[in-house]
A and B are shown apart, each in its own frame.
Chain A
Amino acid sequence: MSENEPSTTLDVRGLFCPIPIVKLTQEIKEHPTGSVIEVLATDPGTLADIPAWAKSSGNEVLDTKKEENVIKFLIKKIK
């Protein structure tokens, strides 16, 4: 298993601001520092909002993939 393999997937497809951010915050609390979480979203606002959230909350966006029907993020818990 590679270092950045997600241990959990958070599905927030069909949900809009502020719910994806709120759910991500709740989810990440349950995991130890260094964990990687995959987020599946459909709200185009998350493309800007998740990086902004990461900057402010001190976490890291490892990867963002925009596919046809879903946006996939890989988030690493830093603190």
Chain B
Amino acid sequence: MTEQKNKLLIVCSKGTLDMAFPPFMMATTAASMDWEVHLYFTFWGMDIITKNKSLKLSPVGNPSLPMPNILGMLPGMTAMATKMIKGKMKKTNMPTIEELIKMAKDMGVKFHACTPTMQLSGVKKEDLIPEVDDMMGAATFIELSKDATTTIFV
């Protein structure tokens, strides 16, 4: 009898740069630990797997940034915050999201796109990056989660 693998499911619902990293860090690590891993991209999380989308860091509603929230609303502030965090990440040898996507894919992590979100935003299959394995709705996801060891919502 083959041993049942541990299974990690992560729902990626956010499309800002800071919210895109944790799912990929957990996914690549779990895959390294011989877990079966599924990433389900929904709502703004779909931006992570949509071609030509450059993820940004929003300074609005983000009290961790070294600037008053009200300034974060000014034009150019999102671009500035994004540039700042990307520079810091590069300095600390952190992989980019693009590198993490490739790494996860190479390790067998499955990428699922949410069909209702695609209808809502008008994103088509050909707009998605080639790493996406398939498209599915909530029923397939629930079925997939039935025997998951861990399910995380980001």
Residue of B nearest to A14 (CB): B93
Contact across chains for B28 and A53 when beta carbons are under 8 A apart: no
Q: Looking at chain A, what size class is its interface with the partner chain?
A: 10 to 19
- Could you say which of A14, A18, A22, A49 has the most chain B C-beta atoms within 10 Å of its C-beta? A18
The secondary-structure label for the interface of chain A is: helix
A56 and B107 contact, Cβ closer than 8 Å, known pairs A16-B93, A16-B94, A17-B25? no
Tell me what chain B mostly uses at the interface: helix, strand, loop, or mixed: loop
Which B residues from 51 to 93 make CB contacts under 8 A with A? Answer: 92-93
Which positions 1-51 of chain A face chain B at CB distance < 8 Å? 14-19, 21-22, 24-25, 49
Find out whether the CB atom of A56 lies under 8 angstroms from the CB atom of B93.
no
Contact between chains at A22 and B32 (CB < 8 Å)? yes
Chain B residues, Cβ within 8 Å of A22: 28-29, 32, 103, 107
Within 8 A of A (CB), among B17-57: 25-26, 28-29, 31-35
| Nearest CB of A to B33, in Å | 4
Q: How far is the CB of A14 from chain B (nearest CB, A)?
A: 6
Bound complex: CA A58 to CA B93 (Å): 28
Check if A56 sits within 8 Å of B6, measured CB to CB: yes
What's the minimum C-beta distance from B126 to chain A, rounded to whole angstroms?
A: 30
**What's the Cα separation between A9 and B150 when bound, in Å?**
33
Residue ranges of A at the interface with B (Cβ–Cβ < 8 Å): 14-19, 21-22, 24-25, 49, 52-53, 56-58
Q: Which residues of B contact A (CB under 8 A)?
A: 6, 25-26, 28-29, 31-35, 92-95, 103, 107
